[in-house]
Amino acid sequence: MDRRKFIEASGWSLLGLASAGSILNGCVPGSREAKKKMPSANGYKIYWGDLHNHCNITYGHGDMKDAFEAAKGQLDFVSVTPHAMWPDIPGKNDPRLEWVIGYHTDAFRRLRKGGYEKYREMTRAYNEEGRFLTFIGYEAHSMKNGDHVALHHDLDAPLTGCSSIDNWKEKFKGQKVFVTPHHMGYQTGYRGYNWDYFTEGDQTPFVEMYSRHGLAENDMGDYPYLHDMGPRQWEGTIQYGLSKGHKFGLIGSTDQHSGYPGSYGDGRVGVLSPSLTRDNIWEGLRSRHTCCATGDRIAVDFRINDAFMGDAIRGNRRKIYLNVTGESCIDYVDVIKNGRLIARLNGPHIPVMPSGDTVRCKVKIEFGWNREEKYIPWNGAVSIDKGRIVNVTPCFRGAAFTSPQEGEAEFHTHVQKIVSVSENSAELALYTSKNPNTTTPATQAVILEVEMPLDGTITADFNGKTFGHSLGELLEGSRTHFMRGWLSEAILFNRAMPESCYTVEHYMEDDSPELDTDYYYVRVRQKDQQWLWTSPIWAERV
């Protein structure tokens, strides 16, 4: 099949931007010329975690044990993160801000009066090498330097105070500790990041670009800052930092305050590693072999020559290889060079109907939309009658608010669970609350990856009601069902996504250095607004 016919058959297209410099051999997924140049599998995989989130151990809500249980249900590693200090806290001379001091310092005091030891003990108890890793971490606020999280390799790490972020970094010298800025895009001097204080190296190998606060890739685009801490600005963004010549990896974290680490859509970090061991995950973080995702586990293999995301190389000829497997239909994949778009791979407007006796697809089944304030339990199973379930991926959210609601004495985390999985069924125990507004979801979901014929049926059997659709029906479009009639809770069978719409492989070459050191990174956008960004690769001119 020639290239033009392949594009038409798959629904994919390649947009090359001539103004961005030399782009050679741009190829679409599966093309013959691309396959000749694709490197072999690298023996690594991406493990997913959340290194910055909160529960009621300080200010936040939700029990710490529930937070670890929630993390264990959908992450490979976690740091449940108490707030610990604020050396330059404002409010002493401003009556408008007096509440800030009491609200925060009371929480810091609780942490030091037994809270930290309880936290350290539970972190150790949940750590299980090779299966689920836990890390000690805690947060320091700073008006001057911006907020940071200290992440320790040592599970017995003491709580270390500071008089400033610079003082913190000095105290941590020689230790295995990462000091990571977050919600970077706020105004400098008001807890936004100041790139003048960035120190490249093992202590700050990565920054947190995305969380519930919003996206700090640049000062435009999706996920603006909406918290009362203020809007985002250019000088705190990662593209500003890259334009200054700094080298750093990218991560996402939830910064969730209702005790649900990894809350779907709020931010996650992916780490490229040969295995799920403490030392290997730590080395992946230190080496900047990281990516930032909003929620979906979008797998990406991005390399230039022999370098992985986060690496730095030398050479004027850059062989760029990209392989992406999404969880839903990919809208587009961008290759960014020095802050400019040099190539865009556009996914199909509507997924192309697959052919064959057995097809591979992903189907997201979503629960929620209840009108009542109270939580609705969902007990039952999703199943198929033909073929097999390859994988079940949880998409579980925590509470959509950052403080207990008015009149609520105590918040209880409702931990979502995949109870069991077999080749033809997945048993679930879920809870949903009403969506807090028409733009913020509170639904729960799982993604079924299946291999089955088009006439095979996918069934949801919950709370005494059963609904089913053939895979062929779901490939034509989504289907919805109310559980108790209009204005009651509902189930959404999302459109089935054939493999052709969520996988892309691409090869291109760039032999036009622009700066002494150019940087490249990749970003992936799905049609359901789930994103992933790779850490950059830096290429030095010779």
Instruction: Give the closest residue to 371 by CA, choosing from 442, 284, 455, 312.
Output: 442
Task: Please give the helix or strand (H or E) that residue 475 lies within, else none.
Answer: helix 471-476
Distance of CA 301 to the CA centre of its chain: 16
Distances (CA, A) of 501 to 330, 454, 479: 6, 17, 19
Q: How far apart are the first and last CA of the chain?
A: 39
Give 192's DSSP letter. Answer: B
pLDDT of the residue at 8: 47
Token pair, residue 8, equals: 């038409």
Torsion angle, CA of 140/142/148/151, rounded to 10 degrees? Answer: -30
What does the alpha-carbon distance between residue 408 and residue 170 come to, in Å, rounded to a whole number? 42
Whether 432 contacts 368, CB under 8 Å: yes
Using a cut of 0.75, tell me whether the model's pTM lies above it. Answer: yes
What's the alpha-carbon Rg for the chain, to the nearest Å?
23
The tokens describing 516, both together, are 């002494």
Q: What is the pLDDT of residue 505?
A: 95
What does the DSSP assignment read for 281-321?
HHHHHHTT-EEEESSS--EEEEEETTEETT-EEE-S-EEEE
In 3D, which of 255, 325, 273 has the Cα closest to residue 296?
325
- Give which of 458, 461, 488 is closest to 474, Cα–Cα: 458
C-alpha to C-alpha distance for 472 and 470, rounded to whole angstroms:
5
Token digits of residue 288: 């900047």
DSSP conformation class of 451: E
Q: In whole angstroms, how far apart are CA 149 and each of 3, 27, 203, 208? A: 48, 41, 11, 10
Name residue 313's amino acid: I
> Where are the strands (E) in 453-489, listed by range?
457-462, 465-470, 479-482
Strand order in the sheet with 307-308: 307-308, 299-304, 318-325, 503-510
CB 47, CB 281: distance < 8 Å: yes
Residues 6+ away with beta carbon under 8 Å from 20: 337, 340, 341, 342, 343
Instruction: With beta carbons less than 8 A apart as the criterion, state whether 523 and 33 touch.
Output: no
Buried b (16+ CB within 10 A) or exposed e, 472-496: ebbbeeebebebeeeeebbbbbbbb
Q: Residue 2: is it exposed, middle or buried by C-beta count within 10 angstroms (0-12/13-18/19+)?
A: exposed
Cα 169 to Cα 177: distance, rounded to the nearest angstrom: 9
How far apart (Å, rounded) are the C-alpha atoms in residues 489 and 351?
28
- DSSP letter for each residue of 22-36: --BS---TT-HHHHT
Which residue ranges of the chain lie beneath pLDDT 70?
Answer: 1-10, 16-38, 402-409
Taking alpha carbons only, the member of 214, 60, 79, 68 closest to residue 134 is 79
461 CB contacts (<8 Å, ≥6 apart)? 380, 381, 382, 383
| Residues with Cβ within 8 Å of residue 212, at least 6 apart in sequence | 254, 255, 256, 263, 266, 267, 402
Q: What is the pLDDT of residue 4?
A: 40
Task: Provide the pLDDT for residue 16.
Answer: 62
Question: For residue 538, how many other CB atoms are within 10 A of its CB?
Answer: 22
Give CA separation, 431 vs 351, 398, 412, 413, 488, in Å: 31, 10, 12, 10, 14
Contact 72, 396 (CB under 8 A): no
**What integer pLDDT is reported at residue 462 of this predicted model?**
98
pLDDT confidence of residue 92: 86
